[in-house]
């Protein structure tokens, strides 16, 4: 899913600890659907450095998996130019029916921001989940039009193994005093085409095309030192042989444990 569960964003100033709790439910064509939950902790060492840990469990149809996560970012630079370096690590395992599966995702990225408005990012994600693996670099550009509206575009093109991904993605964030809105889309090839050969017979299975869209809102609750987000995500995976639709709803609650200037 491309919809964000929580933004990796530094606190305005000082030190901040955040605990996040997430719940989700989903439906999937031809199955009973599934759901899951997550628990995470994010710590701001300063307005330029943060790190977090999390654990997540998911169930979908006859598959289930659990993984732990580490993430962090560091920003430096003064004036109109800022440089950010960030990374994520997700490690776990589960089962797909009677067969065990591994869950391994590692990502490193860097971004540069000019004039507090234009940001360009480049990241690389190594993926090995069940029988799918590959390298997924992504180039992104975002622009803050004014204090209330930010938009972004990115393109990911996989290399190696059998990932077979070519995705164009876009997003918009609308910041308001009482309620923040966001939405986005992804479109492109989600899996590689596969050619099977048994004896003299050859069978070609076309790659799947992805159409995804999500919308959500975040409600800050200053008196409770917390915020709550609700996200709805739709995915359609299709080819000449397959047409699978997936709906997901996510509810996330974040509480700030402490905040003081440095």
Q: Strand 15-28 to strand 194-198: parallel, antiparallel, or no bridges (unpaired)?
A: unpaired
Query: Is the per-residue pLDDT at 2 higher than 50?
Result: no
Q: Are 67 and 73 in contact (CB under 8 A)?
A: no
Tell me if 234 is assigned to some domain.
yes
Q: Distance between CA atoms of 258 and 260, rounded to whole angstroms?
A: 7
Tell me if 5 is assigned to some domain.
no
The residue segments making up the domain with residue 117 are 24-260
Each residue of 132-159: pLDDT tens digit? 899 999 999 999 999 999 999 999 999 8
For a pLDDT cut of 70, what percent of the chain falls above it?
87
Tell me if 13 is assigned to some domain.
no
Each residue of 208-222: pLDDT tens digit? 899 999 999 999 999
Confidence (pLDDT) at 148 = 96
Task: For residue 44, give the CATH number of its domain.
Answer: 2.40.160.40
Confidence (pLDDT) at 15 = 74
Tell me if 10 is assigned to some domain.
no
Confidence (pLDDT) at 235 = 95
Tell me if 30 is assigned to some domain.
yes
Q: Are 34 and 54 in contact (CB under 8 A)?
A: no
Query: Is the per-residue pLDDT at 169 higher than 60?
Result: yes
Query: Is the per-residue pLDDT at 4 higher than 50?
Result: no
Distance of CA 41 to the CA centre of its chain: 17
**Number of domains forming the structure of the chain:** 1
Each residue of 36-64: pLDDT tens digit? 999 999 999 988 999 999 999 999 999 99
Tell me if 154 is assigned to some domain.
yes
Confidence (pLDDT) at 198 = 46
Tell me if 6 is assigned to some domain.
no
127-149 burial string, b = 16+ CB within 10 Å, else e? bbbbeebbebebebebebeeeee
Query: Looking at residues 94-120, what average pLDDT do you find?
Result: 95
DSSP the chain: --S-SS-----SSSEEEEEEEEEEEEEETTS--EEEEEEEEEEESSSSEEEEEEEEEEEETTEEEEEEEEEEEEEE--TTEEEEEEEEEEEEEEEETTEEEEEEEEEEEEEEEETTTEEEEEEEEEEEETTEEEEEEEEEEEEEEETTEEEEEEEEE-BSTT---EEEEEEEEE--SS-EEEEEEEEEE-S--EEEEETTEEEEEPPPEEEEEEEEEEEEEGGGTEEEEEEEEEEEEE-SS-EEEEEEEEEEEEEEEEEE--
| Token code pair at residue 33 | 């659907």
Query: Is the per-residue pLDDT at 7 higher than 70?
Result: no
- Which carries the bigger pLDDT value, residue 258 or residue 203? 258
DSSP 186-201: EEEE-S--EEEEETTE
């Amino acid at each position: 899913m491309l919809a964000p569960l929580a933004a990796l964003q530094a606190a305005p100033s000082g030190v901040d600890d955040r605990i996040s709790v997430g719940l989700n439910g989903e439906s999937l064509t031809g199955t009973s659907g599934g759901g899951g939950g997550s628990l995470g902790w994010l710590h701001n060492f300063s307005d330029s450095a943060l790190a977090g840990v999390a654990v997540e469990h998911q169930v979908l149809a006859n598959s289930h998996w659990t993984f732990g996560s580490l993430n962090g970012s560091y920003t430096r630079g003064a004036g109109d130019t800022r440089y950010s370096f960030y990374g994520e690590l997700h490690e776990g395992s589960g089962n797909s029916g009677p067969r065990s599966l591994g869950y391994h995702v590692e990502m490193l990225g860097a971004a540069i921001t000019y004039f507090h408005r234009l940001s360009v990012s480049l990241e690389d994600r190594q993926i090995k989940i069940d029988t799918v693996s590959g390298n997924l670099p992504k180039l992104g550009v975002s622009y803050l039009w004014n204090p209330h509206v930010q938009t972004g575009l990115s393109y990911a093109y996989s290399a190696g193994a059998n990932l077979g991904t070519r995705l164009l993605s876009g997003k918009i964030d609308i910041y308001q005093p009482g309620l923040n809105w966001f939405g986005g889309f992804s479109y492109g090839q989600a899996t590689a085409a596969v050619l099977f050969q048994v004896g003299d017979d050859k069978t070609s299975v076309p790659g799947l095309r992805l159409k995804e869209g999500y919308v959500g809102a975040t409600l800050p609750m200053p008196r409770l030192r917390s915020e709550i987000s609700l996200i709805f995500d739709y995915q359609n995976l299709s080819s000449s042989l397959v047409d699978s639709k997936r709906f997901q709803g996510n509810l996330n609650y974040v509480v700030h444990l402490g905040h003081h200037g440095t």
